[in-house]
Amino acid sequence: MRRVLIVEDSNAVRTFVRGALEDEDFQRAVGGFDVLEAASGFEAMALMPRGPFACIVTDINMGDINGLEIVNFVRKSEHHRETPVVIISTQSSSRDIERGLSLGANAYLPKPFSAVALQDVVRQLVAPGEG
Protein backbone atom coordinates (compact mmCIF):
# COMPACT_ATOMS: atom_id res chain seq x y z
CA MET A 1 0.00 0.00 0.00
CA ARG A 2 1.28 3.44 -0.87
CA ARG A 3 1.62 6.05 1.83
CA VAL A 4 0.92 9.72 2.25
CA LEU A 5 2.68 11.66 4.99
CA ILE A 6 1.00 14.58 6.74
CA VAL A 7 3.29 16.95 8.64
CA GLU A 8 1.23 19.36 10.69
CA ASP A 9 1.37 20.42 14.32
CA SER A 10 -2.36 20.90 14.79
CA ASN A 11 -4.31 17.79 15.74
CA ALA A 12 -7.49 19.14 14.23
CA VAL A 13 -5.90 19.96 10.88
CA ARG A 14 -4.23 16.55 10.76
CA THR A 15 -7.56 14.89 11.49
CA PHE A 16 -9.17 16.99 8.79
CA VAL A 17 -6.51 16.18 6.20
CA ARG A 18 -6.59 12.51 7.08
CA GLY A 19 -10.37 12.52 6.73
CA ALA A 20 -10.13 14.11 3.29
CA LEU A 21 -7.50 11.65 2.10
CA GLU A 22 -9.17 8.58 3.54
CA ASP A 23 -12.47 9.42 1.91
CA GLU A 24 -13.65 6.20 0.25
CA ASP A 25 -14.51 7.67 -3.14
CA PHE A 26 -11.22 9.47 -3.26
CA GLN A 27 -9.26 6.39 -2.29
CA ARG A 28 -11.01 4.42 -5.00
CA ALA A 29 -10.19 7.10 -7.56
CA VAL A 30 -6.47 7.30 -6.80
CA GLY A 31 -5.78 3.70 -5.99
CA GLY A 32 -5.75 3.79 -2.23
CA PHE A 33 -3.05 4.63 0.28
CA ASP A 34 -2.30 4.70 3.97
CA VAL A 35 -2.01 8.00 5.77
CA LEU A 36 0.87 8.61 8.17
CA GLU A 37 0.84 11.56 10.55
CA ALA A 38 3.73 13.58 11.95
CA ALA A 39 2.99 16.26 14.53
CA SER A 40 6.31 18.05 14.05
CA GLY A 41 9.21 18.34 11.70
CA PHE A 42 11.16 16.00 13.90
CA GLU A 43 8.47 13.36 13.81
CA ALA A 44 8.45 13.71 10.05
CA MET A 45 12.20 13.14 9.95
CA ALA A 46 11.79 10.06 12.07
CA LEU A 47 9.17 8.73 9.62
CA MET A 48 11.22 9.47 6.49
CA PRO A 49 12.96 6.08 6.46
CA ARG A 50 9.51 4.45 6.34
CA GLY A 51 8.90 5.90 2.90
CA PRO A 52 8.71 6.02 -0.05
CA PHE A 53 5.69 8.26 0.07
CA ALA A 54 3.22 8.84 -2.69
CA CYS A 55 2.88 12.41 -1.45
CA ILE A 56 3.89 14.61 1.48
CA VAL A 57 1.50 17.25 2.80
CA THR A 58 3.20 19.74 5.10
CA ASP A 59 2.52 22.90 7.05
CA ILE A 60 5.21 25.60 7.01
CA ASN A 61 4.76 27.34 10.29
CA MET A 62 6.10 24.79 12.78
CA GLY A 63 8.66 25.13 15.52
CA ASP A 64 12.21 23.80 15.28
CA ILE A 65 12.17 22.08 11.88
CA ASN A 66 9.87 24.15 9.71
CA GLY A 67 8.08 23.09 6.55
CA LEU A 68 10.62 24.79 4.28
CA GLU A 69 13.28 22.60 5.79
CA ILE A 70 11.15 19.54 5.13
CA VAL A 71 10.79 20.56 1.49
CA ASN A 72 14.50 21.18 1.27
CA PHE A 73 15.32 17.86 2.86
CA VAL A 74 12.99 15.94 0.59
CA ARG A 75 14.39 17.49 -2.57
CA LYS A 76 17.95 16.75 -1.53
CA SER A 77 17.26 13.24 -0.35
CA GLU A 78 18.15 10.44 -2.68
CA HIS A 79 15.10 8.46 -1.68
CA HIS A 80 12.47 11.14 -1.56
CA ARG A 81 13.63 13.60 -4.19
CA GLU A 82 10.80 12.65 -6.57
CA THR A 83 8.04 12.74 -3.95
CA PRO A 84 5.39 15.39 -4.60
CA VAL A 85 5.09 17.91 -1.76
CA VAL A 86 1.99 19.97 -1.00
CA ILE A 87 2.27 22.95 1.33
CA ILE A 88 -0.75 23.81 3.44
CA SER A 89 -0.48 27.07 5.31
CA THR A 90 -2.33 30.10 6.53
CA GLN A 91 0.88 32.03 6.78
CA SER A 92 0.10 35.61 5.99
CA SER A 93 3.46 36.26 4.35
CA SER A 94 3.61 35.14 0.78
CA ARG A 95 7.36 35.17 1.04
CA ASP A 96 7.48 31.84 2.84
CA ILE A 97 5.17 30.23 0.32
CA GLU A 98 7.28 31.49 -2.56
CA ARG A 99 10.31 30.19 -0.80
CA GLY A 100 8.66 26.80 -0.36
CA LEU A 101 7.72 26.61 -4.02
CA SER A 102 11.19 27.68 -5.11
CA LEU A 103 12.67 25.00 -2.87
CA GLY A 104 10.73 22.50 -4.88
CA ALA A 105 7.27 22.10 -3.38
CA ASN A 106 4.76 21.10 -6.03
CA ALA A 107 1.66 22.87 -4.81
CA TYR A 108 0.41 25.24 -2.21
CA LEU A 109 -3.02 25.29 -0.59
CA PRO A 110 -3.88 28.26 1.56
CA LYS A 111 -5.85 27.30 4.65
CA PRO A 112 -8.78 27.15 4.97
CA PHE A 113 -9.07 24.76 2.09
CA SER A 114 -11.90 22.37 1.39
CA ALA A 115 -11.50 18.64 1.46
CA VAL A 116 -12.27 18.62 -2.27
CA ALA A 117 -9.53 21.14 -3.06
CA LEU A 118 -6.99 19.02 -1.21
CA GLN A 119 -8.17 15.86 -2.93
CA ASP A 120 -7.90 17.54 -6.33
CA VAL A 121 -4.35 18.65 -5.73
CA VAL A 122 -3.25 15.29 -4.38
CA ARG A 123 -5.00 13.46 -7.21
CA GLN A 124 -3.08 15.49 -9.76
CA LEU A 125 0.23 14.89 -8.04
CA VAL A 126 -0.08 11.24 -7.24
CA ALA A 127 0.59 9.22 -10.33
CA PRO A 128 -2.65 7.38 -10.97
CA GLY A 129 -0.61 4.45 -12.23
CA GLU A 130 -1.64 1.65 -9.94
CA GLY A 131 -5.26 2.42 -9.70
Partner 1 sequence: MADFGSESSEKKEEFFSEAQEIVDGLGKFLLDLEGAVAASRVDPDVINEMFRAVHTLKGIAGLFGATRMSGMSHELENMLDDVRMGRLDLTSNVIDLLFKAVDLYTHILLFERGEAPDPQQEIAKLLASFAAVTQPEEAPTSNIFTQFDLDPGMFGVLTEYEEHRLKSNIESGLALFRLRVRFNLTVLDTALEDLKKKAKPLGEIITYLPAPSTDESDFENLELDILMASKSDAATIDTTLSVEGLVVNPVKRRSGGGPPPKAAAAPVSKSPLPKIGAPPSLPPPTIAGPARLPQDLAPESHAAHGAKSVRPAAPAHAARTSVAPQAQGQAGQFVGKSAAQTTVRVDIRKLDRLMTILGELAIVRSAVGRLAERLRGSVEHRELGTDLHRLHRTFERQLGQMQNGILEVRMVQLGPVFDKLQRGLRAISREYSRPVNLVITGQETEIDKLIVEELSDPLMHMVRNAFDHGIEIVEDRLKVGKPEVGTIALNAFQKGNHVVIEVEDDGRGMDPKLIIASAIRKGVITEDESREMSARDAYRLVFMPGFSTKTVVTDLSGRGVGLDVVKTNIAKLGGIVDVTSEVGIGTKMTITLPVTLAIINVLIVEIGGRSFAIPLASVEEAFVYDPSLTRNVEGREVLSLRGQSLPICHLSSLFQVDAFDDASDSTRKFYVVTVAVGIRRLGLLVDRLEGQQDIVIKPLGRSLKSVHGFAGAAELGDQRVALVLDVAAIVEEVLAGDQSRFLAMAGEGRA
Size of the site for partner 1 (CB under 8 A): 45
Among 96, 105, 107, 119, binds partner 1 (CB under 8 A): 96
Quick one: 32 or 51, whose CB is closer to partner 1?
A: 51
**Length of the chain in residues, anyone?**
131
Query: Burial letters for 91-126: b for 16+ Cβ neighbours within 10 Å, e otherwise?
Result: beeeebbebbeebebbbbbeeebeeeebbebbeebb
DSSP labels, 65-99:
S-HHHHHHHHHH-TTTTT--EEEEE--S-HHHHHH
Quick one: 46 or 130, whose CB is closer to partner 1?
A: 46
Nearest approach, Cβ of 53 to partner 1 (angstroms)? 15
* Site residues (CB under 8 A) for partner 1, limited to 35-94: 39-43, 45-46, 49, 60-66, 68-73, 76-79, 90-93
Q: Is the peptide bond before 110 cis (omega within 30 degrees of 0)?
A: no
Quick one: 10 or 128, whose CB is closer to partner 1?
A: 10
Residues that bind partner 1 (CB under 8 A): 9-13, 15-16, 19, 39-43, 45-46, 49, 60-66, 68-73, 76-79, 90-93, 95-96, 99, 102-103, 111-113
